[in-house]
């Protein structure tokens, strides 16, 4: 167990109700014409009022200058140091779609993609529909055969899928075939440890067969793999802190992250109001409610600055019923920044809003946004330190020492 969790566990006691609302990829960069980020330009009267009545700051998901994936970003918010707990994306996706991984299984996250010749021109195949993803996954399962290894492709959502390799002697120590950018070929998978040579050969054969199966499909005529891993054993939040925790997330991978740390998982509708309504349904049975909103990240990756602002506005418009339920702690933040200007995750600190009856009030804050949060009383904190703050404000940590 990591030092922070080990230190906090003996301090845990029963206490109040906490809501962690994560707008994926929340942080942004100023628009060249207005000088405002997507969050700063959004109409957010409810979040602005909470910011004035609570504490604001900025969080660093991993470390200065490090661009985090969604996995590390969320693990940090759950209190797990992402530099210590490194979990491959494949495991998170597999758990998110409800698969159980065995000790000989290696999981990889897959993107259906578009290639022209050898060049990847769209890593997401135009964000094909989930129905199309199911059809393509079934096609690969029907036609691909590997010697001595079983393989299963499970659709996730839109262009995303999971590939599970099962068999003796497999290793997760592999490089990705996803180049993480367009305009270049997809690299071969290579072993990153000597014992993974056999597995690399198996995975490359899977990719070769998949390309043959998909060659006449459009736009999804390629598949990219990344995040190879086996399922690790992480300390579980309910046992660590005596909390009944639930994740309310429409996208499967975030349910996978929650399952990994011992949360229950629930699938809401696709809109922010659906997730908040589901949280209110589950209110009495849980102490920690994690609400995930994906649309901010998708809009940022698409470079759609205005759409990202609209998603933030939709979250704000859905907040009143949650505020009226009066949680003891409400923390609103993101797992990382995804500026529309960059069309990708970035290393920039993420705005944080912590409302609680015991919070110091940042009455000088005029709006929930990056510039104002930089002046907040929380200062700049590591994301892994936010869980202790939530627990403390909920009365769930006893005094340390005499």
Tens digits of per-residue pLDDT, 30-48?
999 999 999 999 999 999 9
CA atoms within 13 A on the CB side of 50: 25
End-to-end CA distance of the chain: 25
Q: Which residues contact 218 (CB under 8 A, 6 or more apart)?
A: 114
Structural domain ending residue among the three candidates 207, 229, 251: 229
Beginning with the edge strand found earlier in the chain, give each strand of the sheet holding 264-266 in spatial order: 264-266, 245-248, 288-293, 18-23, 329-333, 350-356, 55-60, 379-382
Residues 286-312: tens digit of each pLDDT: 999 999 999 999 999 999 999 999 999
Q: Can you give the residue range of the structural domain that contains 385?
A: 3-82+234-393
- Does 398 fall in a domain? no
User: Token digits for 346?
Assistant: 């970035």
Say yes or no: 71 and 105 in one domain.
no
Same domain, 98 and 70: no
Residues 225 and 239 in one domain: no
| Average pLDDT rounded to a whole number, residues 378-400 | 97
pLDDT at 277 over 90: yes
Say if residues 2 and 84 touch (Cβ distance below 8 Å). yes
Q: What single-letter DSSP state applies at residue 9?
A: G
**Please, which pLDDT band fits residue 342 given cuts at 50, 70 and 90?**
very high
310-340 tens-digit pLDDT: 999 999 999 999 999 999 999 999 999 999 9
Residue 24 lies in a domain: yes
Asked whether residue 3 carries a pLDDT value surpassing 90, the answer given is: no
Whether 73 and 17 share a structural domain: yes
Determine the Cα–Cα distance for residues 254 and 90; give it in Å rounded to an integer.
12
Query: Mind listing the pLDDT tens digit for each residue in 55-81?
Result: 999 999 999 999 999 999 999 999 999
Give the per-residue pLDDT at 1.
75
Instruction: Tell me the per-residue pLDDT of 106-120, one tens digit each, with 9 for 90 and over.
Output: 999 999 999 999 999
Domain edge (last residue) among 202, 229, 256: 229
101 in the same domain as 38:
no
Domain count, the chain: 2
Q: Decide if pLDDT at 2 tops 80.
A: no
Q: Mean pLDDT in the chain?
A: 96
Per-residue pLDDT of 140-179, as tens digits, reads: 999 999 999 999 999 999 999 999 999 999 999 999 999 9
The residue out of 229, 255, 283 marking a domain boundary is: 229
């Amino acid at each position: 167990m990591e030092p922070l969790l080990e230190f906090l566990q003996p301090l845990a006691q029963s206490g109040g109700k906490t809501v962690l609302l994560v707008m994926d990829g929340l942080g942004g960069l100023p628009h060249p014409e207005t000088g405002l980020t997507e969050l700063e330009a959004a109409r957010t009267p409810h979040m602005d009022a909470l910011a004035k009545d609570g504490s604001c700051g900025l969080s660093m998901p991993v470390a200065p200058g490090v661009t985090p994936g969604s996995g590390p970003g969320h693990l940090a918010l759950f209190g797990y140091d992402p530099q210590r707990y490194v979990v491959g994306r494949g495991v998170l996706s597999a758990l998110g779609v409800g698969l159980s991984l065995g000790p000989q299984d290696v999981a990889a996250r897959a993107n259906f993609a578009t290639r022209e010749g050898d060049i990847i021109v769209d890593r997401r195949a135009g964000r094909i529909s989930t129905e199309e993803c199911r059809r393509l996954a079934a096609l690969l399962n029907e036609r691909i055969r590997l010697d001595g290894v079983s393989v299963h492709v499970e659709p996730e959502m839109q262009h995303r899928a999971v590939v599970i390799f099962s068999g003796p002697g497999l290793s997760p120590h592999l490089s990705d075939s996803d180049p993480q950018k367009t305009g270049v070929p997809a690299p071969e998978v290579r072993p990153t440890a000597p014992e993974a040579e056999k597995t690399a050969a198996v995975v490359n054969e899977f990719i070769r067969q998949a390309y043959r199966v998909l060659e006449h499909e459009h736009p999804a005529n390629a598949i990219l793999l990344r995040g190879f891993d086996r399922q690790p054993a992480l300390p579980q939040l309910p046992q660590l802190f005596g909390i009944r925790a639930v994740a309310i997330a429409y996208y499967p991978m975030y349910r996978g992250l929650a399952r990994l740390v011992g949360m229950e998982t629930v699938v809401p509708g696709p809109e922010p109001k659906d997730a908040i309504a589901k949280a209110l349904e589950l209110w009495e049975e849980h102490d920690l409610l994690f609400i995930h909103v994906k649309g901010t990240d998708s809009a940022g990756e698409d470079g759609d600055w205005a759409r990202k602002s609209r998603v933030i506005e939709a979250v704000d418009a859905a907040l009143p019923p949650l505020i009226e339920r009066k949680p003891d702690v409400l923390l609103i933040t993101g797992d990382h920044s995804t500026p529309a200007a960059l069309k990708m995750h970035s290393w920039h600190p993420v705005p944080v809003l912590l409302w609680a009856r015991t919070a110091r009030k940042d009455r000088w804050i005029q709006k929930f946004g990056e510039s104002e949060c930089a002046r907040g009383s929380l200062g700049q904190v590591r994301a892994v330190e936010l869980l202790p703050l939530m627990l403390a404000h909920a009365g769930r940590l006893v005094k340390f020492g005499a």
